[in-house]
Amino acid sequence: MELCNPVVTPMSTTTKLSSKIEEEGIDREKYRSLIGSLMYLTNTRPDIENAVNIAARFVSNPSKEHFDAAKRILRYLQGTKDFCILYKSHQSNILTGFTDSDWAGDNDERKSTRGFLFLIRTGPISWSSRKQRTVALSTTEAEYVALNNAVCEAIWLIRLKNEVKGDRGGRKEIPTIHCDNSSAIALSKNPVYHNRSKHIDIKHHFIRELLVKKEIEVEFIPTGRQLADLMTKPLARDRFVYLRKKIGMMRAADLEGVL
């Protein structure tokens, strides 16, 4: 793959992978090894997090289609191997989060994919793309569950940040998490928002307690500015490149004059 032709995005928007495709002669161990290597790379490459997560769902029974999708990620990396994350020292040191979810995007189980992204000094420090464990009955539920996951991550990051700083009781930092679903935000702030939300597992209502205690803030953000969109589904070229730039990923050669 060293001489492969690079592509602009790690996964095509037309790619619809499924576990229902079974083929003989597929080297499962090779596929698992490839996915394992790609998962390791996601520790420093948030731009491939979603694509790798989708490809990793088929390690038990990969097909040629799955191999092609994984190889496309390699082709993307070939064209972006000199990319890095830029953290700007003059920008805010306050933790800022973004959370998003698709709805029933998984072709086999109709489960949703949730994602979050946390930034400090305009650069990402934590990100995740995962298929939700249960089927969401609405976009509101999918976004609400995703919001809860992001809140849990925010609390952990704040505690870690305080430990690193040796902060034993100074001014409490209140992280802001941005969500583009107004119904999910309303549900997080109002426990009697709607009868149709009663079926949502009580564990996901953890967020309400934190809002009351003012340990977090949740704010609405337009979908066009939702950075976590990068974590929930394959994106078209222009949208992907725009979000990649917004999270501080750029070529090392372009850093001259920026720092």
Q: Are 178 and 216 in contact (CB under 8 A)?
A: no
Residue 17 near residue 69, CB atoms below 8 Å:
yes
Rounded Cα–Cα distance for residues 63 and 191 (Å): 45
pLDDT tens figures, 134-158: 999 889 989 999 999 999 999 999 9
User: What is the reported pTM?
Assistant: 0.91
Residues of each domain in the chain carrying CATH 3.30.420.10: 85-249
HEC sequence for the chain: CCCCCCCCCCCCCCCCCCCCCCCCCCCHHHHHHHHHHHHHHCCCCHHHHHHHHHHHHHCCCCCHHHHHHHHHHHHHHHHCCCEEECCCCCCCCCCEEEEEECCCCCCCCCCCEEEEEEEECCEEEEEEEEECCCCCCCHHHHHHHHHHHHHHHHHHHHHHHHHHHCCCCCCCCCCEEEECCHHHHHHHHCCCCCHHHCCCCHHHHHHHHHHHCCCCEEEECCHHHCHHHHHCCCCCHHHHHHHHHHCCEEEHHHHCCCC
Provide the pLDDT for residue 147: 94
* Residue 196 confidence (pLDDT): 56
Which pLDDT belongs to residue 253? 84
Tens-digit pLDDT profile for residues 152-199: 999 999 999 888 877 666 567 899 999 999 999 988 887 655 555 665
What CATH number belongs to 85-249?
Answer: 3.30.420.10
List of the chain residues with pLDDT < 70: 1, 22, 167-171, 191-204, 256-259
CA separation (Å) from 67 to 35, 86, 90?
A: 10, 32, 43
Position 257 scores a pLDDT of 53
Greatest alpha-carbon span in the chain: 61
pLDDT of residue 197: 62
**pLDDT at residue 195, rounded to an integer:** 55
Question: Taking a C-beta distance cutoff of 8 angstroms, is the pair 117, 124 a contact?
Answer: yes
